[in-house]
C-alpha cells in the first residue's frame, strides 16, 4: 500500500482546476470513480473536466455526468492537476497519456497490485475492492457531502469490481460503505439489472460462439475459449460486449483456470484469465500483463497458435506450481 494521503488532500485543497481520467475500455469502477470524483470536486467549488480514452460504455450512460465525459483534449494546461483513476500504468490512458503525464501534479488513485506508482502522489491500496472505495474515503477526508449522484456512481464502481459483492475482495468495509451509499435513495435492484443481468442480444450470440469453441486441458482444470474480431463483427457485438465472457470458462464445475483468447488479427491476441485460487496476476505478469489475483490479462503480439501454446505452457506451470 502506498499512501500519500495527506499530501493529496493538501494538493486538492490548494488546486482549482482538475483533469480527471479513467482507463481505456473503462469498466464500472473506472467510470463510477471518475464521475464520483468529478461531482465531489465540483461540489467543493473546483473546476473539473472528465475524460476517458475512447467512450463511456453504453450501459453506464445512465449515470449523471456520463454525457459530459470527453475523449480528447486538444490543448492540455500543464498547470492543471491531473487525477488518474483505476489505471495500473499510464499506457492505460491511450492517446491521452501524454497530455495527462505532462501535468505538473499527477495524482494516481488505484487498487491494482501491479500499479506502477507513476504519480507525483499515489493513493494505491490493493486491499480496496475497488478504486471506488478509495474515492469514497478520499471524498470524506476532503469534507465532500455525499449526494445521490456520487452515491450512485460509487455504488456502480464498487458493485462492478466485487462482481455484485460475490468476489472474495468484498470486505466488511465494502459493505459498510455500500450501506451508507444506500441511504441516498438508490435502487440496488434496478442498478444490478442494468449492470449485470441485462446484456444486448449481440453479447449472447458472441457467448454462443465462445462456448461452441470450448476446449478443456490439464484434466479439465483449464477451460479455454477463443473469439476473434471477425466473430465479434459477425455477431454485431462491440468490444465492450466481450466483458464477462471469460467468466463462463472459469465457472464450469472443476475448472481452476478459465482463459479467453481474443484474436485481434494474425499478430495480436488479447488474453483474459479468471481463476478460483491460482494467482493469475502473477501468471499474466510473466506474459507482460497484469491485474488482480483472480482476474487478470495480457496482450501478446504473435499469431494465435504461438500465443496459445505459450499461454497454455505458462498456465499449466502455474497450476503445477500451486499444487507443489
User: Residues in the site for Mn ion, rule: CB under 5 A?
Assistant: 29, 86, 131, 161
Instruction: Measure the CA–CA gap between 153 and 158, rounded to whole angstroms.
Output: 9
For Mn ion, the closer CB: 115 or 249: 115
Q: Give least dist CB 131 to Mn ion, A.
A: 5
Is 19:82 a contact under the CB 8 Å cutoff?
A: yes
CA dihedral 5, 56, 65, 87 (to 10 degrees): 0
Give Cβ neighbours of residue 43 (< 8 Å, ≥ 6 apart).
144, 145, 147, 150
Residue 66 or 319: the one with the smaller Cβ distance to Mn ion is 66
Least Å distance, CB 85 to Mn ion, is 9
The nearer residue to Mn ion, 36 or 224, going by C-beta atoms, is 36
In the complex, least distance from residue 211 CB atom to Mn ion, rounded to whole angstroms: 27
Work out how close the CB of 93 gets to Mn ion at its nearest, in angstroms, rounded to a whole number: 15
CA distances from 43 to 36, 38, 158, 210, 282 (A): 11, 9, 21, 45, 40
CB of 32 to Mn ion, least distance (A): 9
Q: Which is nearer to Mn ion, 293 or 312 (CB)?
A: 293
Query: Minimal distance in Å, beta carbon 28 to Mn ion?
Result: 8
What is the 3-class SS of 295-309, one letter each residue? EEEEEECCCHHHHHH
Q: Which is nearer to Mn ion, 131 or 249 (CB)?
A: 131
Query: How far is residue 273's CA from residue 162's CA, in Å, rounded to a whole number?
Result: 16
State which residue, 161 or 279, has the beta carbon closest to Mn ion: 161
> Which run of H or E residues covers position 134?
helix 131-141
Nearest residue relative to Mn ion (C-beta)? 29
Q: Could you tell me if residue 254 is left (phi over 0), alpha (psi between -120 and 50 degrees) or otherwise beta?
A: left
Amino acid at each position: 500500500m502506498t499512501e500519500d494521503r495527506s499530501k493529496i488532500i493538501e494538493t486538492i485543497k490548494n488546486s482549482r482546476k482538475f483533469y480527471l481520467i479513467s482507463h481505456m475500455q473503462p469498466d464500472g469502477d473506472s467510470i463510477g470513480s471518475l464521475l464520483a470524483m468529478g461531482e465531489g470536486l465540483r461540489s467543493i467549488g473546483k473546476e473539473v473536466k472528465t475524460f476517458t480514452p475512447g467512450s463511456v460504455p453504453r450501459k453506464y450512460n445512465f449515470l449523471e455526468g456520463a454525457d459530459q465525459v470527453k475523449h480528447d483534449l486538444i490543448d492540455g494546461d500543464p498547470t492543471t492537476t491531473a487525477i488518474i483513476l483505476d489505471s495500473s500504468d499510464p499506457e492505460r490512458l491511450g492517446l491521452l497519456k501524454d497530455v495527462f503525464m505532462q501535468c505538473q501534479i499527477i495524482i494516481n488513485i488505484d487498487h491494482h497490485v501491479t500499479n506502477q506508482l507513476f504519480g507525483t502522489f499515489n493513493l494505491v491500496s490493493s486491499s480496496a475492492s475497488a478504486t471506488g472505495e478509495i474515492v469514497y474515503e478520499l471524498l470524506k477526508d476532503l469534507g465532500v457531502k455525499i449526494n445521490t449522484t456520487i452515491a450512485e456512481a460509487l455504488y456502480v464502481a464498487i458493485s462492478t469490481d466485487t462482481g455484485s459483492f460475490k468476489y472474495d475482495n468484498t470486505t466488511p468495509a465494502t459493505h459498510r460503505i455500500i450501506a451508507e451509499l444506500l441511504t441516498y435513495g438508490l435502487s440496488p435492484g434496478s442498478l444490478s439489472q442494468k449492470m449485470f443481468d441485462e446484456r444486448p442480444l449481440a453479447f449472447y450470440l458472441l457467448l454462443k460462439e465462445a462456448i461452441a469453441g470450448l476446449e478443456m486441458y490439464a484434466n479439465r482444470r483449464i477451460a479455454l475459449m477463443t473469439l476473434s474480431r471477425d466473430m465479434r463483427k459477425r455477431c454485431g457485438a462491440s468490444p465492450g460486449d466481450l466483458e464477462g465472457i471469460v467468466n463462463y470458462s472459469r465457472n464450469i464445475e472443476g475448472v481452476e483456470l478459465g482463459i479467453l483468447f481474443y484474436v485481434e488479427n494474425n499478430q495480436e491476441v488479447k488474453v483474459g484469465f479468471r481463476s478460483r485460487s491460482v494467482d493469475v496476476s502473477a501468471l499474466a505478469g510473466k506474459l507482460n500483463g497484469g491485474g488482480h489475483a483472480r482476474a487478470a490479462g495480457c496482450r501478446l503480439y504473435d499469431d494465435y497458435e504461438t500465443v496459445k501454446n505459450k499461454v497454455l505452457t505458462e498456465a499449466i506451470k502455474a497450476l503445477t506450481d500451486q499444487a507443489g
